[in-house]
Amino acid sequence: MVSFDLADNPVRELNQHLHAAVSGKVTVNNAGGKHSIAVGAIGNHEVEINGNVGYYCAGMNSDATIRVNGHAGPGLAENMMSGRVQVSGNASQYCAATAHGGLVVIEGDASSRCGISMKGVDIVVKGSVGHMSAFMAQKGCLVVCGDAGDALGDSIYEAQLYVRGKVESLGADCEQKEMRAEHKDKLQSLLDAAGITDIQVNEFTRYGSARKLYHFDIDNASIY
Amino acid sequence: MCGIVGLYAKTDSVRENLGKYVGAMLEQMGERGPDSAGVAFYADSAIAGEASKVTVQHDDTNQIDAVAQSVQTAFNGVQLKRRGTHLVIESTKTPELMEQWVRESFPDVRLMSAGKRIEIYKEKGHPSEFVSNYALHEISGSHALAHTRMATESAITTSHSHPFSTGLDLCLVHNGSLSNHNRLREKLLRAGIRFETDNDSEVAAGYLTWRISQGDSLRQALAAAIRDLDGFYTFAIGTRDGFAVLRDPVACKPAVLAETDDWVAMSSEFRAIAQLPGAENAKVWEPVPAQIYTWEGEIRDGVAA
């Protein structure tokens, strides 16, 4: 096992270690809110980070499993390609923005713009998400076990949204959808993957695109 | 981009070391704002009983020498503190009277702040230089707000730096940019509010000054600000007994709050708060958009009044 103490060592040393396509356990201590911790990891690393992390933790992750024992600042797992990122606390704004694949699990709440422009990542939030979450979301699933803020799924494409609690408001072209068997199966698999056992799929409502804004239509001018 | 830090002490130990902690937090925010730095400290006057504090500044320290000499001749029992290009005048007169005296006697000298407890120091240049040049570690007090500036809307000068005074014992620091500040400044000028610069944040400070002069509480003034200010902002407002935090409804600009048994802290980023003793076990959370948070001995949050 390799260990990095960020109180004494620069973040770059940690990241350069993670850029070598190898696998192994990595422990990171004294995160101290520093930026860009464990960014660009390639390979099956198992990274455990102790402390709160700052901007852009776990960005561009490929294949690594990254766990943060603390809260995450803005831009967690931005543009992640694959692998798994899990945060024991809350995540700040635009978590998993533009992420293409993998799984992000937030055990607390996620802030505004969670999953903005998501392109295939799956996101499971045990708490609630802030306003404008899944804005222009293209692909993947956002599961919210708590509530969602204003304008959920505004200008959404083909991402699937599952919310267990209250939705403050839906964004333009986002609508409630029927929960069919295949959606329940998918949701169950995501809850299983996130290790959530005390919540039933029947408690969720599905939301997705009404597909009215894909192409310009003068009749829809008022909702653009 | 700018950086904000705020610290409210709950124990004597934190009060004694307030400047040391705020300096460490401010240095962490240097990357967010390398152009200038400023701080507002709140501490009781050395003069017992009813006393006022007025902070004045001039880039030419000879001017400050002249103010120091003149104020001692004009008033009995004043106490003076020099720090960098700043002078804090403590006296038994009212802050309004002292402000008026400065304006009339030294029209070229900048009035940084006036009140019973506030002292404002600010200077262009890198925050880490400011922290050491101003020997922040020497300063104690009940609470403080500080700012590091990355200029986007107007020039880099000491008078464009934050905090901005918004009335007696009140000041404002801002991370963001306002888009309707020119129109609003014209309106406030007609209402008799003074502006020293073309800075957008100074307009926000002037707006609060104006609302409060019209009888608003700070909470009411901030609620009105959500309606009347257009743009991006995380504001922190220093008050005689604490501070307030407000983010705009879209909330692109970051803010983190944290609390332990010893302190309440606010910052743009956790890495500033991480400098404080016990930060690793603090309760940490993000303030909700368009919600006014205030500390005056105890935490209060709630929807706009």
pLDDT(A21) > 80: no
Alpha carbons A157 and A215: distance in angstroms, whole number: 12
pLDDT at position B302 over 50: no
A13 in a structural domain: no
Q: What is the pLDDT of residue B304?
A: 32
Tens-place pLDDT, residues A145-169: 999 999 999 999 999 999 999 999 9
When CB atoms are compared, the residue of A34, A71, A131 closest to B289 is A131
What φ, ψ does residue B202 adopt, rounded to 5°? -65, -30
Distance from CA of B35 to the nearest CA of A (A): 21
pLDDT of B299 strictly over 60? no
- Would an 8 Å CB–CB cutoff place A92 in contact with chain B? yes
Tell me the residue range of the domain where A147 lies: 93-211
pLDDT at B297: 59
Q: List CB contacts of B183: < 8 A, sequence separation 6 or more.
A: none
Residues B274-295 have pLDDT tens digits of 999 999 999 999 999 999 998 8
Mean pLDDT of all residues belonging to chain B: 93
> How far apart are the CA of A185 and the nearest CA of chain B, in angstroms?
34
Residue with tokens 């460490």: B24
For the four alpha carbons of B79, B116, B71 and B88, in that order, the dihedral sign comes to positive
**pLDDT, mean of residues A171-195:** 97
What pLDDT score was predicted for residue B303? 35
* Residue A75 located in a structural domain: no
Instruction: Give residue-wise pLDDT tens across range B120-137.
Output: 999 999 999 999 999 999
Domains of chain A: total: 1
Tokens of B7: 């610290």
CB B53 within 8 A of CB B171: no
pLDDT (0 to 100) of residue A214: 78
Q: Where in chain B is the domain with CATH 3.60.20.10?
A: 2-43+124-302
Whether residue B117 is predicted with pLDDT greater than 50 in this model: the reply is yes
d(C-alpha B68, C-alpha B46), whole Å: 17
Q: Is B2 a catalytic residue?
A: yes
- Residue B225: is its pLDDT beyond 80? yes
Tell me if B7 sits within 8 A of B143, measured CB to CB: yes
| B269: nearest CB among A73, A93, A112 | A73
Nearest to A92 among B254, B273, B280 (CB): B254
pLDDT in tens, B171-211: 999 999 999 999 999 999 999 998 989 999 999 999 999 99
Q: Which of A54, A74, A111 sits opposite B271 (nearest CB)?
A: A54
| Calculated CA dihedral for residues A192, A194, A198, A202, nearest 10 degrees | -60
Query: What is B45-116's CATH number, 3.30.70, 1.10.150, 1.10.3210, 2.40.50?
Result: 3.30.70
Decide if A120 touches B, using CB distance below 8 A.
no
Mutate to test the interface with A, among B276, B280, B286, B288 (most CBs of A within 10 A): B286
Residues of B in contact with A71 (CB under 8 A): 270, 284
Banded model confidence at residue A129, pLDDT cuts 50, 70, 90? very high
Whether residue B286 and residue A131 make contact (CB cut-off 8 A), yes or no, is no
Sign for the pseudo-dihedral over CA of B275, B276, B281, B287: negative
Residue of B nearest to A110 (CA): B286
Question: In the predicted model, is pLDDT for residue A139 greater than 70?
Answer: yes
Residues of chain B with CATH 3.30.70: 45-116
Q: Of A187, A96, A115, whose CA–CA distance to A154 is shortest?
A: A115
Residues B287/B175, Cβ–Cβ less than 8 Å: no
User: Residue A153 falls within a domain, yes or no?
Assistant: yes
Chain A CB contacts of B251 below 8 Å: 93, 112, 130-131
- What's the pLDDT tens digit per position in B39-96? 999 999 989 888 999 999 999 999 999 999 999 999 999 999 999 999 999 999 999 9
For chain B, strand residue ranges (E) read 2-9, 36-42, 52-57, 79-83, 86-91, 110-115, 118-124, 143-149, 164-165, 171-178, 231-239, 242-247, 256-259, 263-267, 283-285, 292-295, 299-302
Cis preceding linkage at B249, omega within 30: no
Q: How far is B126 from chain A (nearest CA, A)?
A: 20
Q: Selecting from 1.25.40.10, 3.40.50.300, 3.60.20.10, 3.40.190.10, what CATH number does the domain B2-43+124-302 have?
A: 3.60.20.10
